[in-house]
Chains A and B, each alone.
Chain A
């Protein structure tokens, strides 16, 4: 599957069909999730109505972590196999991950103010998620810091891989250190420790966010491929090929032709 899509032209064809499906189903699932979260789900016996913040906060946190993992895997593939689509995928996913991380922090801050009485505390969970946001921002800045797209992407891939050490710190921070943040109650050994009436909206929102991530990643990858093709056309004055290296391999041009003479 991955191998078949690994060709940019094939990816463009596949995503042209898959993108509207993903996008509209994401919107539909999120609307259903919001209905469950804001109407159907009961208030918590301790936290009252503030528990509704959880239906945004927790799925956003899951997305923040899994998108970073996706980015790191794509970066590894890009570094090892020099695959052009892999670094485009990683770069496309980064702003989406940063947005989910920001949403997680902002909603957590509001929830914290309501329940703990503080907008922010420097405890292990909150600080490690803030570091995750900085990793995303650093990656985006690094990738865009070079004029030549390939060089920025390679530097970014290295950064993305180094940042992976932060993921277990985020996940297990609530077990390793004494924090104000509550420990995991869904993804834990021994199964979820949360009522079904609250688990359902949580999972529906998580599915909606995941579909949204897939749709936005494909959209941003298509944008990047369009941009690269436009750049190649401007530089080489050729109508179709996407990557110069690929064109060379398919039909090596005689030296005199190389500059479009």
Chain B
């Protein structure tokens, strides 16, 4: 079992190329998605706060 997993992870001797390729993709695309979501949350909260202030002023 462990041997099969080890052989799979070795990727026929190309582990040093295959896994970093998937790692880069995950890091870049995941990072972009995370950053986009954070920015969206921040902008929504800012807008909500401004609208509350506006209502409070009236």
Contacts and interface: CB of A to CB of B under 8 A. Distances in A.
Interface of A: 34, 38, 43, 48-50, 52-53, 56-57, 60, 95-96, 99-100, 102-103, 106-107, 110-111, 113-114, 212, 216, 219-220, 222-223, 226-227, 229-230, 233-234, 237, 239
Contact of A107 (B21, B40, B51): B21
A226 B46 contact: yes
A110 B17 contact: yes
Interface residues of B, number: 27
B6 interface: no
Nearest to A98: B32
Contacts of B20: 110
Contacts of B33: 212, 216
B43 A226 contact: yes
A52 B18 contact: yes
A107 B50 contact: no
A219 B36 CA distance: 7
Nearest to A209: B29
Contact of B51 (A49, A216, A219, A233): A233
A50 B14 contact: yes
Contact of A49 (B11, B24, B29, B37): B11
Interface in B1-53: 11-14, 17-18, 20-22, 24-25, 28-29, 32-33, 36-37, 39-40, 43-44, 46-47, 50-51
27 contacts: A48-B13, A48-B14, A49-B18, A50-B17, A50-B18, A52-B11, A52-B21, A53-B18, A56-B22, A57-B21, A96-B32, A103-B25, A106-B24, A107-B21, A110-B17, A110-B20, A110-B24, A111-B17, A111-B21, A114-B14, A219-B40, A226-B44, A227-B43, A230-B47, A233-B47, A239-B51, A239-B55
A69 to B, nearest CB: 19
Nearest to A54: B21
B25 A60 contact: yes
Contacts of A56: 21-22, 25
